[in-house]
Amino acid sequence: MSVKIAIISDLHLGIGRNTERSEDCWDAAREAFEKAKDCDLILLPGDIFDGRIPRPEDWAKCMGILSNVKVPIVAIHGNHERRGKGLINPVEGLEHAKFLKYLHCKSKVFDIKGRKISVFGMGWVPEAYAKEVLHNCNPQPVEGAYNIFVLHQSVSPYVFNSIEPPSLTLEDLPKGFDLYVCGHIHWNVMDKTHGKPFLIPGSTVTTQVNKSEAKNPKGFYIVELDDDVKINFIKLDSARKVYYKEFKVDNNKKISDITEEIEEYLNGINEDKKPLVRVVVRGSIGKGSNLDLRYLKDKYRDKMILSVGVRVSEEELEKKIKLLRDVMDERVSIMDIGMRILRENMNEMKSSFDFEEIFEFLVDGNVDGAMAQLLSNLDEFVNKSKNPSVDMSGLQRWVS
């Protein structure tokens, strides 16, 4: 008898609230679970929720969906759900309510139709630490089981965000597993490592309108274990179509020609459900030319959800704009940039502070926790500080 495992990743429940797309993540989640209902096990490789502190409305809807699932669910947390030490992340929250089994640096064996299925899970950690954490976890396959290894990281060559380079490559994943599964990346991938399948289902909902997401359908995997292993990608019909197109311009092109070209392209798009359309204009235009395409969004409002990017500038400036855009698109980058700055500053002060812990307290708005952590290290800090320019008077006020 065959065993079917559904792998549904990056549901991002709660994304796009108060926008035209607020129901998209829920439509996708409902469709995915509906299409997975004859499966025997459901694997969620992180970013179930879009936020680390979901709103009650999102909890309620999510639990409504999960409460209809009759088979075991196993999950890890993604970068969107990670919280500091000692704090409960929302995936753990779902485990407390018995909706699923939560794994972080551990495994769980399921007995399904007389077969042993072992899942080893590692939730998201900042990319810089992924290799070390993986090494410390020391994942081992379970003998006599079908062994699945699941994580939520960039795994080179599959990189979510160029700001945060991966420390892991496909080759670094632990040997001896039958199937490797990765969340985090929002487009679907079927590759191999150590001679076994490496699957990225991609997100069920479009989070960024870019080239990769435009040419790649939304959906999830069903892995069917019989005498052999069958892997099927199940497309989601509820997903909005995504269109992405770049227009090149140069100094010789007239503004009216550019707008005409873009409108011609937009006029050719016709979908029942408003598609997500992104148009990007690149190149350089003559000094003083005013390329303002904001009117397009209103003009096509009834036909599509349109965003327009105008990237006409010199190269160095363009790089900086890209960095800013990436930062705006992905919250984790801000966290990582923040953490990097904090770490650099603290290294400069030659302190032995646990900057990561302090940063996590700050991210969670727990200023008291951060302060307590600072104060507990203060004596050591004062003794060790070799930097006479550090003004300690402000901090010492707190301990006196």
Between residues 10 and 24, which has the closer beta carbon with respect to Mn ion?
10
Nearer to Mn ion (CB atom), residue 9 or residue 373: 9
Nearest alpha-carbon partner for 90 in 364, 396, 386, 365: 364
Q: DSSP H helical segments within the chain, as ranges?
A: 24-35, 56-66, 90-96, 127-137, 211-214, 255-267, 295-299, 315-329, 331-348, 355-363, 367-376, 378-384, 393-399
Asked if residues 167 and 131 have their Cβ atoms less than 8 Å apart, the reply is yes
Q: Which is nearer to Mn ion, 332 or 363 (CB)?
A: 332
**CB 47, min distance to Mn ion, A:** 4
The one segment of 45-53, 131-139, 161-169, 251-259 that binds Mn ion by CB under 5 A: 45-53
Q: Write out the binding residues for Mn ion, residues 210-239 only, by CB under 5 A.
A: none
Q: How far apart are CA 361 and CA 381, in angstroms?
A: 19
The residue count for binding Mn ion (CB under 5 A) is 2
Which ranges of 2-48 does DSSP label H, i.e. alpha helix? 24-35
Site string for Mn ion, 1-40 (x = CB under 5 A): ---------x------------------------------
Range in contact with Mn ion (rule: CB under 5 A) among 24-32, 44-52, 233-241, 349-357:
44-52
Residue 350, C-beta contacts closer than 8 angstroms, at least 6 positions apart: 384, 385, 386, 387
In the complex, minimum distance from the CB of residue 48 to Mn ion, in angstroms, rounded to a whole number: 10
Structure tokens at 398: 């707190």
Question: Which residues, 6 or more positions from 140, have their beta carbon under 8 angstroms from its beta carbon?
Answer: 107, 120, 174, 176
Nearer to Mn ion, 199 or 370 (CB): 199
Give the nearer residue to Mn ion in terms of CB position, either 78 or 84: 78
Q: Can you list the pairs that 34-38 forms with residues at least 24 positions away whose Cβ atoms lie under 8 Å? A: 35/220, 35/234, 35/236, 36/6, 36/8, 36/220, 36/222, 36/234, 37/69, 37/70, 38/4
**Contact criterion met (CB below 8 Å) for 261 and 246:** no
Q: Nearest residue to Mn ion, using CB? A: 47
* Position among 27, 47, 50, 58 found at the interface with Mn ion (CB under 5 A): 47
- Taking the complex as a whole, how short is the minimal distance between the CB of residue 220 and Mn ion, in angstroms? 14
Report strand pairing: 276-283 vs 242-249.
parallel
Bridge partners for 242 per DSSP: 276
Task: Specify the residue, 204 or 351, whose C-beta has the smaller distance to Mn ion.
Answer: 204
Shortest Å, Cβ 261 to Mn ion: 34
CB closer to Mn ion, 156 vs 259? 156
The minimum distance between CB 184 and Mn ion, in angstroms, equals 6
List of residues 6+ apart from 250 with CB closer than 8 A: 283, 284, 285
Task: Give the nearest distance from C-beta 203 to Mn ion in angstroms.
Answer: 6
Nearer to Mn ion, 271 or 329 (CB): 329
CB of 153 to Mn ion, least distance (A): 11
- Lay out the site mask for Mn ion across 285-324 (x = CB under 5 A, - = otherwise): ----------------------------------------
Q: How far is the CB of 393 from Mn ion (least distance, A)?
A: 44
Name the residues that contact Mn ion, by CB under 5 A. Answer: 10, 47
